[in-house]
Amino acid sequence: MSIVKKIIDYKKSFFRDHGKNNHVFIIETNGCRREIHRLNKSSVKFKGNNNTIEIYEPYDKLVLNIIVCDNTHIVLHPSQYPRNIAINGYCNNNNKIVFGHDFSTTDKLQISLLRGPGNIIIGDDCMFASYDLIQMGDGHAIYSAKTNEIINNNKDIIIGNHVWVADNVTLLKGTKIGDNSVIGLKTIVTKQYDQNNVIIAGTPAKIVKTDVNWTRKSQY
């Protein structure tokens, strides 16, 4: 890597804060909490106020690209695996995003908050592949022509423990996935699947196999 590239990357790693009461904390293995203002290979931009990011050790394989507006709380529990996460908050507010223990990504996971409140909870030992998208809202409001009420509010997204999400999967608002499940290639999920140990695949998504489990170990 050239000296110029190293300098550019170093400057990018400093957080940009355009609001008030925004913090990034490291939670050390002994429970101590310390604030940081840069993170190697990462970019954090606060466009609003009252945002908090909590990163638990170890985090040496973590890459973040985050832009959020107001009242966002992000928690990254410790992981032994690589994590590359991009979170883009478009006029977002009152959001909570939690990544469980030993969460991993093969490539960058894109998370779009798109206005309004809502939560994204990802359980322990979840493995996301490449080009996956989590989108919690629709971006633009849709109104009832009779009542003028918004009919497309954000909905929480809940991913259970030990879930494998394959390449090019889209998880939209209201998604819920049970424990020990697999989401197949290019699947678009829009509903709640409370059943554990299933394979969900297709567009639209549906349960295609039950009574399964999976492992990170290669079969070869």
CB-CB contact of 80 with 101 (8 Å): no
Beginning with the edge strand found earlier in the chain, give each strand of the sheet holding 23-27 in spatial order: 33-35, 23-27, 52-56, 70-76, 92-99, 116-122, 157-159, 176-177, 192-193
Q: What is the mean pLDDT of residues 149-168?
A: 94
Q: In the predicted model, what is the mean pLDDT of residues 142-171?
A: 94
CA 36 – CA 183 distance, rounded (Å)? 36
Reported as a single tens digit per residue, the pLDDT across 202-214 is: 998 999 999 999 9
Whole-model pTM: value is 0.92
Between CA 143 and CA 159 the distance in angstroms is: 29
Tally the C-alpha atoms within 13 A of residue 6's C-alpha that lie toward its C-beta.
3
How would you label 10-46 residue by residue, b for 16+ Cβ within 10 Å and e otherwise? eeebebebeeeebbbebbeeeeeeeeeeebeebbbbb
Q: With respect to CATH, is domain 3-138+152-210 assigned 2.160.10.10? A: yes
d(CA 205, CA 195): 14
Residue 5 — very low, low, confident or very high, per pLDDT cuts 50/70/90? low
pLDDT score recorded for residue 218: 78
Q: What is the pLDDT of residue 116?
A: 80
CA–CA distance, 91 with 220 (Å, rounded to integer): 46
Q: Which of 41, 140, 33 is nearest to 83 (CA)?
A: 41
Q: Given this model, what pLDDT does residue 139 score?
A: 78
Domains of the chain: which residue ranges?
A: 3-138+152-210
Which residues partner with 209 through β-bridges? 199
What distance in Å separates the CA atoms of residue 83 and residue 76, rounded to the nearest whole number? 10
pLDDT digit string, tens, across residues 180-192: 999 999 999 999 9
